[in-house]
Structure 1
Amino acid sequence: MELKQLVALVTVGDTGSVTKAARLLHVVQPAVSRYIRALEDEVGVPLFERSRQGMTLTPAGEVLAGRARRALLELERARAEIRPDRHHIQGIVTIGLLESTVELVSAPLVEALGRRHPGIDLRLLSAFSGHLQQWLDDGAVDMSLLYNLASTPSISVTPLLREALWAVAPPEAELSGGDALTWARVSENRLVLPVVGHGLRTLIDQALRTAGVEPTIACQTNSMLVQKKLVAVGTGWSVLPAAGVAEDVAAGRLNGGPMADPEIFRTIVLALPRGGRVPPAVEVVAAEIVRVTRRLIENGAWPTASVVAEFD
């Protein structure tokens, strides 16, 4: 397999078109078609389904394209790391951020790294914890924020902070001045919750069982943005991490407060894969994530959060 063939495979897979791929790669269309045919001849199976609507990866094509993306990314990282520069740490670093932390963490992290380490090519991906852990295992991200996870044989975990979950209500809800809300009080309203199997939903269901209440569920979704929008228009109440709703509550788009009877917490950790050499760029980004989260806690921007460990 040649590098140009793998690049063609990924680009056609992303665009769904040989013509578009050729334009992006600055080569003629027949060349891209030759690269794809050569790959298919080598692996012995079709990599694309061809139709009038375009090119769609076959299951075999999806497998090879996924591997090709990782190989191309590793080559890109290697080029960035060995490019001569005596003054700056360089390299590509991909970080997984919990969806509920993006609004708080992304801007100060990008600003700090741009100021301290302008040679780092930073890439941010956001998802729920389960997806992020899979991406970490697969090598799609260099590190990730996860929650309620201990170290494993493949992942090294550093606890960063502990935060409470909040009851989240429409802006017109009459909440009592920041006092904690009981699960019985919250369950008087229809609830908009994460889907079953989601990590937050597991915590919520455990708390509901402890409180001995049976909620009426208006909707389940895998999107925190959808949860917040549905709460804002009065579809129901929800229970979300304070980090994910702090700006909305401060702006009056939502109302909210900590839970009680029982309280419910999550621990956010920084996870990196074990084994192998850790590039300098990854080391400095990991350290910067810790500094950023600590500053957010110290200045009160991360409600209810407290530092639980130092970063080594």
Structure 2
Amino acid sequence: MELRQLTALVTVAEVGSVTGAAKLLHVVQPAVTRQIRLLEQEFGLPLFERTRQGMVPTPAAEVLIMRARRALDELERARAELRPEPGEVTGIVSVGLLESVLDILAQPLTDAVAERHPGIELRLFTGYSGHLQHWLDTGEVDLSLLYNLSDTPSLSVVPLLREQLWAVAPPDAGLVAGSPVPWATVLAHPLVLPVSGHGLRALIDRARSAVPVEPRVVVQTNSMLLQKNLVLAGHGWTVLPAAGVAADVAAGRLSGAPLTAPDVERSVVLGLQRRSRLLAPVDAVSSALTRLVRELVGSAVWPSARPTGRV
């Protein structure tokens, strides 16, 4: 097995065709076909099905592609880390970000790393906490923001902050950040909520169970953006972390206020793989992210949040 075979495999899987892969790799099409055929001969299994939609990986190929992509990423990291400028931290760092913090964290983090460590290439991944934790466990990301998590055998967790959940409604509802909204008021409206099984939904269900009002859930979704759009379209109210709606409330697109009776908080933590020592670029990005969270909480850009741990 050769690196060019793995490169051909991953590229064909990503673009869905041998022709497209050949163009990206700057080789002729038969060369890519030959690399795939050699891999199929080595493993004794077909790796792609040719369909009208293009080259579709077989189940066996999916396993190999996942491992090949990781091996190629590690080699790329090694090249970056072994050729640094004197005194410069270089490398590739994959960061997991919760969907609810993208608006206030993604660009400032990118700016901070570019300014302090221009030799680091950031790779930002977004998802729900459960997905991010899985990617951290499997090594697909180097560090990740998570919520309501303690240390595990494979992960080290640094507490960062606690934030209140907010009721979110159309602008004409007139919710104001300085006037908390009781759950009973929220439950009197149709609700657009995260799907069952989502970590945020578990917090919501636990809180509303303490209020003797039966909720009317009209839509469930796994997209925070869709939650907000459906509220804006008049389908109901929703519940979200303050960070996820701060920009919308400030712009007047939505109105929002902290929930009370009962109060509901989530803890946001930084998850890291347990290692004897962090790689220099991972440590640099971890420090930059922690510093940035401290600044956002201290300046109230991250609303309804209070620091915990070393932040």
| TM-score, with length taken from structure 2 | 0.98
Choose 44-53 or 1-10, whichever is displaced more. Answer: 44-53
> Residue 223 of structure 2 aligns to which amino acid in structure 1?
S
| Contact residue 169 and residue 232 of structure 1 kept, 8 A | yes
Does structure 1 retain, via aligned residues, the 8 Å contact 2:177–2:258? no
- Partner AA of 1:241 in structure 2: P
In structure 2, the partner of 1:107 is: 107
> Is 2:213 the counterpart of 1:199?
no
Structure 1 residues 176 and 291: CA distance shift in structure 2, 3 A = closer
Question: 1:183–1:213: 8 Å Cα contact kept in structure 2?
Answer: no
The residue type paired with residue 82 of structure 2 is: I
Amino acid at match of 2:159: P
CA contact (8 A) 2:177 2:256 kept: no
What does residue 217 of structure 2 align with? Answer: 217
What letter matches 1:47 in structure 2? Answer: L
Q: Aligned partners of 1:84 and 1:135: how far apart in 2?
A: 27
Q: 1:235 to 1:67 in 2, by over 3 A?
A: same
1:219-274 deviation line (CA, Å, top 9, x unaligned): 00000000000111111000000000001001100001000110000000000111
Q: Distance in 2 between matches of 1:306 and 1:285?
A: 22
Tell me what 2:90 maps to: 90
Per the alignment, in what secondary structure is the counterpart of residue 149 of structure 1? coil
Contact in 2 for aligned 1:12/1:55 (Cα 8 Å): yes
Contact 2:176–2:255, Cα closer than 8 Å, also in 1 = no
Partner Cα distance (2:162, 2:261) in 1:
18
CA distance in 1 between partners of 2:175 and 2:63 (Å): 51
| Cα deviation, residue 132, structure 1 | 0.5
Report what 1:252 is aligned to. Answer: 252
Q: Structure 2 vs 1, CA of residues 5 and 177 (structure 1 numbering), >3 Å: closer, same or farther?
A: closer
CA deviation profile, 1:111-158 (whole Å, cap 9, x unmatched): 111111111001111111111111111111000000000000000000
> Pairwise mapping of residues 145-294 of structure 1 onto structure 2 (< 5 A)?
145-175=145-175, 178-275=178-275, 277-294=277-294
Output aligned runs, 1:12-161, within 5 Å.
12-161=12-161
Q: Which amino acid aligns with 2:70?
A: R
Deviation of 1:57 (Å): 0.2
Distance 1:55 1:262 in 2: 53
User: Conserved in 2, the CA contact under 8 Å of 1:146 and 1:268?
Assistant: yes
Deviation at 1:177, TM superposition (A): 6.7
Aligned length, in residue pairs: 311
Determine if contact 2:207/2:264 at 8 Å carries over to the other structure: yes
Give a deviation string over 1:22-77, Cα, whole Å, max 9, x none.
00000010010000000001011111011343210000011100110000000000
Cα distance in 1 for partners of 2:280, 2:177 equals 47
Over residues 66-109 of structure 1, what are the superposed CA-to-partner deviations in whole Å (9 max), with x where a residue is unaligned?
11000000000000110131031000001000000010011111
3-state SS, counterpart of residue 184 of structure 2? helix
Conserved in 1, the CA contact under 8 Å of 2:84 and 2:90? no
CA RMSD across the alignment:
1.1
Tell me which amino acid in the other structure corresponds to 2:244: G
Q: 1:177 to 1:65 in 2, by over 3 A?
A: closer
Q: TM-score, normalised by structure 1?
A: 0.98
Tell me how far apart the structure 1 counterparts of residues 177 and 43 of structure 2 sit (CA, whole Å): 65
Q: Which amino acid aligns with 1:271?
A: G
SS where residue 268 of structure 2 aligns? strand
Distance 1:309 1:82 in 2: 34
> How many angstroms does 1:300 deviate by?
1.0
Q: Which runs of 5+ in 2 are unaligned?
A: none
Cα displacement (A) at 1:213: 2.3
| Identical columns (%) | 59
- Closer, same or farther: CA 215–28 of 1 in aligned 2, 3 Å: same
Helix, strand or coil: the match of 2:213? coil
